[in-house]
Structure 1
Amino acid sequence: MNTQTLALRIDAPMQSWGVRSRFIKRDTASEPTKSGVVGLLASARGTDRNDDAAIEELARLEMGVRIDREGLLERDFHTAQEVPNTMGTGHRTVISDRYYLADALFLVVLRGSAALLHELEEVVQRPHWPLFFGRKAFVPAAPLVEPASERERWGTGLSSRSLEDVLEHHPWLERDPERREEMLRLEQDQRRLRTVIDVRPDHEHAERRHDLPLSFTEGARRYGSRAVRVGQVPLTDDMIGGRTARTEGGATCI
């Protein structure tokens, strides 16, 4: 099978990637989950939530995440009134804690069939349904795939490189000049980006994540487990400066 990789920018002021959300406590993982990314792609593609075969096709994609900016964990104290009770005989007020990530930035890399990834690159630029990161109010702050004029600078989109190679060498997605300059002033051994990559279950450093979607059918959602390896990649001067930047006097010129 002809395979490729697809690099996506996941960038928003607020994001929520729930794993164990139940009832009055809605959690978030510290990086995009497999179920969250599959749901995002399914929305872009216009896939019906009852189409288990289409969900399975997306879930089979190999996924790697690089955390280009760790988010801050925040809590929203949420009150909902006039919520029907389980017996349907009255209403109540429900108070819940809803957690989300603020100011986070991620590089998500997918590997799979070239034909499928070509389609996904197209639909995330012209989605069938609106895209959001975990909650409908958490919309993207930037395109998931850069416009053609920005591709060379930021590198998102399709590639024939391996998933690991993209995670290790893709330009840093941070756009803030002050943050970029601050990072350039650090010693090389202080610049590390966390990564979470799909691996085989028998990998020596495998960790289990229960976020593999099997079905999004309303009232019958099902999830399985996947194996991931958590690691780090060095953030080099070239990655910080990008392909068209240079460093002069400690500042980054773009």
Structure 2
Amino acid sequence: MSHTLILCIDAPLQSWGQRARGVLRDTSMEPTKSGIVGVLAAACGVERDDEKQIAELATLRLGVRVDREGLLERDYHTTQNVPTTQGTGHRTVVSERYYLADALFLVALEGSLELVTRLGEAVTKPHWPLYFGRRAFVPAQPLFDCIQDASLEDVLRSHRWLEHPERVAELDDAQRKLALRTVVDCLPSAPGAEARNDVPVSFADGARRYATRTVLVDDVPLTPAMIPTEETRCS
């Protein structure tokens, strides 16, 4: 039987970087596998170079449902007195950093009951502070939603829309007929599979390493049964 941990990823600002070096720091439009595994590792107190425990977390099958698309924003960081590559002086470096504003995601993680239960407890009482890409980008509400005895696909198709009830009340009938974008781990042989180089092997400073996974990008219809009438959570 499949067991799926459901998380609510909600924050005013988020950054899910795929290229974290140099003067250009990008963000994916939805949480990456390395980003979610990093959040789980922080919750569990896993050290950055503990490859065994990172590998265990990375075995979870990941699905993301975009319950509200974020706005892509950019800011600039200026760093002074950066040594030159020749070591003969210093310079000022301007970097461009991208982030998502006002995004909301349902993240589903499929695995053994023992593992998803342990992770649900960890994100409820995290070992280290949790944030979404940058230390200032902290969650706007608790991450833990629930654990379901259901497949990842069933969760993405049927779980309650995470949009805030006050926002839902403001939508007209046309706006309620949405298609919610999904990004789901899949086999490399699946038609339409896309490669993503974001499976963490190690988060060690100066020695970060990643492997490749394949995903399917699709969407699910927002049905009337998924639209919340009050703020409830499953048990």
TM-score band by shorter chain is over 0.9
Closer, same or farther: CA 182–243 of 1 in aligned 2, 3 Å: closer
Map Cα deviations across residues 83-138 of structure 1 (whole Å, 9 max, x no partner): 33345554321100000000000000000111111110011011111000001110
- Give the equivalent residue in structure 2 for 1:225: 212
Q: CA shift at 1:3, angstroms?
A: 4.3
The alignment status of 1:205 with 2:197, answered yes or no, reads: no
* Separation (CA, whole Å) in 2 of partners of 1:223 and 1:12: 26
- Give the equivalent residue in structure 2 for 1:159: 148
**Runs of 4+ residues deviating >2 angstroms:** 82-92, 181-184, 241-245
Indicate the RMSD between aligned Cα atoms, in angstroms: 1.8
For residue 93 of structure 1, give the secondary structure of its aligned residue in structure 2. strand
Corresponding letter in the other structure for 1:163: L
Instruction: Provide structure 1 residue ranges, at least 5 long, that are not aligned to the other structure.
Output: 146-155, 246-254
TM-score for both structures, normalised by structure 1: 0.86
* Separation (CA, whole Å) in 2 of partners of 1:242 and 1:83: 54
Confirm or deny: 8 A CA contact 1:11 1:141 kept in the other structure: yes
Confirm or deny: 8 A CA contact 2:165 2:230 kept in the other structure: no
Say which is worse superposed, 88-97 or 106-115, in terms of deviation.
88-97
TM-score for both structures, normalised by structure 2: 0.93
Map Cα deviations across residues 200-231 of structure 1 (whole Å, 9 max, x no partner): 00001211111111111221111111110011
Closer, same or farther: CA 58–106 of 1 in aligned 2, 3 Å: same
Confirm or deny: 8 A CA contact 1:184 1:240 kept in the other structure: no
1:46-65 matches, within 5 Å, as 46-65=45-64
Closer, same or farther: CA 120–87 of 1 in aligned 2, 3 Å: farther
Q: CA shift at 1:159, angstroms?
A: 1.0
- Give the equivalent residue in structure 1 for 2:169: 181
Confirm or deny: 8 A CA contact 2:195 2:215 kept in the other structure: yes
1:1-254 matches, within 5 Å, as 3-145=2-144, 156-177=145-166, 179-183=167-171, 185-186=173-174, 190-242=177-229
Among all aligned residue pairs of Structure 1 and Structure 2, give the percentage whose two residues are the same amino acid.
57
For residue 49 of structure 1, give the secondary structure of its aligned residue in structure 2. coil
**Matched length:** 232
